[in-house]
Amino acid sequence: MLDTGPLQSGMTADDALHKAFPASQSHGHVQPHPLGHKARCGGPALCSQCQRERDFLAGLGQ
C-alpha cells in the first residue's frame, strides 16, 4: 500500500517512509539503511528506487 496522502495523526514522516519503503530495502541515500549500507546506484538523481523515496518525502512536505 502506498499512502501518499496527509499523514495520519501521530505518524511522523519517517514512520510513513519506513512503512512505504522498508529501511532494510533502502539504498541508503534518502533514508539511512539500518546497517549503514549505501548502494552504488547514484542516488535520487539517477536511481528510480531512490527517486521514489525522495518523491514520497517531498509529497509529505519534507
Q: Provide the binding-site residues for Zn ion, judged by CB under 5 A.
A: 27, 39, 41, 47, 49-50
Nearer to Zn ion, 21 or 60 (CB): 21
Nearer to Zn ion, 16 or 27 (CB): 27
Report the C-alpha dihedral over residues 48, 24, 10, 12, rounded to 10 degrees: -50
Pairs from 42-45 (Cβ < 8 Å, separation ≥ 24): none
Helix (H) or strand (E) holding 23: none
What's the closest the beta carbon of residue 27 comes to Zn ion, in angstroms? 3
Nearer to Zn ion, 13 or 39 (CB): 39
